[in-house]
Amino acid sequence: MAEQNRFFDEMGAVDGPRGPYSSYDGWFSAQDKKRLSKKSQEAEAFFRRTGITFNVYGQADAEERLIPFDLVPRILSAHEWLKLSKGIDQRVRAINAFLHDIYNRQEILRAGVVPKSLIANNDAFLPQMIGFSPPGNVYTHIIGTDIVRTGPDDFFVLEDNARTPSGVSYMLENRETMLQMFPELFSKIKVQRVSDYPKNLRRSLEACAPQGCSGKPCVAVLTPGIHNSAYYEHSFLADQMGVELVEGHDLRVVDGHIAMRTTRGYKVIDVLYRRVDDDYLDPLTFNPDSMLGVPGIMDVYRAGNITITNAPGTGVSDDKAIYSYMPEIVEFYTGEPAILKNVETYRCSEPDSLQYVLDNLSELVVKEVHGSGGYGMLVGPAASKKEIEAFAEKLRARPANYIAQPTLALSTVPIFTKKGLAPRHVDLRPFALMSPDGVNITPGGLTRVALKEGSLVVNSSQGGGTKDTWVLED
């Protein structure tokens, strides 16, 4: 237990549960633990029956898997959420302003705040977007911001997800599952709703329709297909919004617009929520071998006849080297210090930082600049001497490909186990929607939990699970 005491436990305190958890703790203490175990099994059966699964690429047993769900919610007070939502709003606006700037006037580069080389040499920077502004000047229509906590008032942004952030379907299904299993809990404790997200998403996307759109905008979701790891989410969101789910072969250019095939002929699409990566979006502009995108869609886009969300080229703001400049980026565009802090970050492209990282690999987390999903990283404290030596060779060979961060004392939230409650590390991915009408942030988000004792890796592809996230009403 001494090991766990090093970490801030969001539910517990020496003299009893923390304020946000007090009502839940009273309810939980009165529950029959056998009933809770049965409910936990019911939740797994519900997820399996509903098809809430994901695929893990690059493994021989890459069958569909369930993301484990834990029935103990993660609870935030209205006051805690207010600070978080203000920080997310500020950061989202700054990222959008940054993207508009680097594809147009590039003032932040001329001011020397961000090195030009980080943009010029970045694979995610698309020259095809230079001089073009998307409808409403919105690049990042949907953003997922990964946030970690180390203390009562200490929140840090771990990374920004501005390309095609995933996980919102799990946020919604986790809540629906909790409502079905424990309706009495939501009568006892007033929790802010997340169920409005699909309606807000559609409204936000419609607000971003091209200027020439007349009448109610037609929205569709573009998926790579059933073999994509997030296909369930693509299908779920299209269904929840009441819009069509389409694949590349369902679309074509018709009279300068993108149209989808229907039983009554082709129908023009005004807003395409794409879940296809930039490189596969248009074989005439990017990867010529792509079978997932739509030939000619970039010409239609640049002509102002369709909105693509998120805009092509937004991935440059996901770059972990760019992340290290986010405090300066936020202040440059907002004129205010960043409300949410970055995790201290060492850029291995800089010789002094590289030497420090090599000297302290056993204490650091090292990540690929373009990496995601927990792949290609080294968690120093959990690595063997052999793994550290092998990773050091990778670092020396391609230092600019990596950044490093200290190992944070991530907060814990209890999970329900056969032996009772046990603390596990968590992070949080709130979801923000941006349109010309403003920023809408769903109260809560996806809490990911490292189910393995002592593990700091919460990614589902690495064995992590999820929790329902509650934001209490005032």
Residues 6+ apart with CB under 8 A from 182: 39, 71
With bands split at pLDDT 50, 70 and 90, how would you rate the model's confidence at 114?
Answer: very high
Cis-peptide, bond into residue 310, ω within 30° of zero? yes
Across the chain, what does the average pLDDT equal? 91
**How do residues 133-173 score in pLDDT, each as one tens digit?**
999 999 999 999 999 999 999 999 999 999 889 999 999 99
Q: What is the pLDDT of residue 46?
A: 82
| Range 344-407 classified under CATH 1.10.3720.10 | no
User: Would you list the domain boundaries of the chain?
Assistant: 344-407
Residue 365, beta-bridge partner list:
379, 405
| Residue 1 in this model has a pLDDT that exceeds 70 | no
pLDDT digits (tens, 9 = 90+) for 354-408: 999 999 999 999 998 876 655 678 988 888 999 999 999 999 999 988 999 998 8
Q: How confident is the model at residue 51 (pLDDT cuts 50, 70, 90)?
A: low
Under 8 Å CB-to-CB from 117, ≥6 apart: which residues?
A: none
Radius of gyration of the chain measured on its C-alpha atoms: 23
Average confidence (pLDDT) over 340-345: 94
Sole residue written with tokens 């203000």? 86
pTM of the model: 0.92
Q: How far apart are CA 68 and CA 53, in angstroms?
A: 10
The mean-pLDDT minimum among 31-45, 68-82, 88-102, 325-339 falls in 31-45
Contact indicator for 186, 297 with CB cutoff of 8 Å: no
Alpha-carbon span 461 to 453, nearest angstrom: 17
Amino acid at 239: D
Look at residue 371 in the predicted model and tell me its pLDDT. Answer: 64
CA angle 294, 296, 300 (to 5 degrees): 110
**pLDDT 10s digits, 55-94:** 544 444 445 567 889 999 999 999 999 999 999 999 999 9
- What does the pLDDT look like over 211-246, one tens digit per residue? 989 899 999 999 999 988 889 899 999 999 999 999
- Asked if the model's pLDDT at residue 275 lies above 70, the reply is yes
Angle, nearest 10°, between helix axes 197-206 and 231-241? 80
Q: Calculate mean pLDDT across residues 336-356.
A: 95
Express each pLDDT in 416-452 by its tens digit.
998 889 999 999 999 999 999 999 999 999 999 998 8
- 432, with CB counted inside 10 A (0-12, 13-18, 19+), is buried
Q: What local confidence, expressed as pLDDT, does residue 23 receive?
A: 96
Give 418's contacts (C-beta < 8 A, 6+ positions apart): 37
Residues 24-29: what's their mean pLDDT? Answer: 94
